Chain A
Amino acid sequence: MEWAELRGYSRIMDTTAEVLPESALRDAVDLLVRLVEAAGALIIFVGAVWAFGRFLLTMARGAGPDRRFNRIRLTLGRFLALGLEFQLAGDVLRTAVAPSFTEIGQLAAIAAIRTALNFFLGREIAAERAEIERDRRKDADGSRARAEPV
């Protein structure tokens, strides 16, 4: 590579560094990560408050079948899964700036925990949904059998 060409590249790099210094990029990404993680945390907290209120309401209306509690847990699980998606998005954003090895290790551990939890939550939600659907079908069959006596 010619010396003049190299100097040209170096000038471009300098200009880029002036326009978008790494510290500014780091600040911007940090702000975005905080916003996204706060949104995820808010969703999880709102889900917990909602589920708590529903549990109290169900209790106040009189003890219902377990199915009602399962339905509330299913919705809480959905809130948790949504919050997790936001927090994973925050993790991905964090990798945008060059972190230290300790930060990379922590990030990997957190991302692994969140991904595993998201996977298990998804499986639990699917299982609960199948159980609710089975109960509903059983109830429908039972009421049909009562309505049409042989």
Chain B
Amino acid sequence: MTTALDLAALATTAFGLVAAAVVLAAAGRLLPAVAVLLDFLTAAGLLRLAGDPSWSTIAAAAAVIAVRRLAVAGLRAPRPG
């Protein structure tokens, strides 16, 4: 099951990269593209957490989610000036 989950997580990451590129090309703005990429990366992190995760997997998933939250908050914050 772990191999299947790893494959699914890898596929989800690839989907995220392509979808972010598509959104960037269509919308011409970075914010929606990054938001889409981070959504897919969160999905990949959740897939990796299923099964029997080790401490390093848990730490990696937590780091991805924390970075995601930080990036979304940073992108949503109003620009000074």
| A-to-B contact residues, CB < 8 Å | 34, 37-38, 40-41, 44-45, 47-49, 51-52, 55-56, 58-59, 63-64, 66, 69-70, 73, 76-77, 80, 83-84, 87, 90, 106, 109-110, 113-114, 116-117, 120, 124
Q: Report if B71 contacts A (CB, 8 A).
A: no
Q: Which residues of A sit under 8 angstroms from B47, Cβ to Cβ? A: 41, 44-45
Determine the main DSSP class of B at the interface with A. Answer: helix
Q: Which residues of A sit under 8 angstroms from B72, Cβ to Cβ? A: 124
Docked-complex contact B26 and A52, CB < 8 angstroms: no
Docked-complex contact A113 and B65, CB < 8 angstroms: yes
Q: How far is the CA of A63 from the CA of B40 in the complex (A)?
A: 21
Q: How far is the CA of A66 from the CA of B29 in the complex (A)?
A: 10
Docked-complex contact A110 and B53, CB < 8 angstroms: yes
Q: Which residues of A sit under 8 angstroms from B75, Cβ to Cβ? A: none
Task: Please tell me the size bucket of the interface on B.
Answer: 35 or more
Docked-complex contact A113 and B58, CB < 8 angstroms: yes
Q: A44-B47, A45-B12, A69-B26 are in contact. List 5 more A-B contacts (CB 8 A).
A: A41-B46, A51-B19, A51-B40, A63-B25, A70-B32
Quote the shortest CB–CB distance from A39 to chain B (angstroms): 10
Q: Which partner residue on chain B sits nearest A76 by CB separation?
A: B39
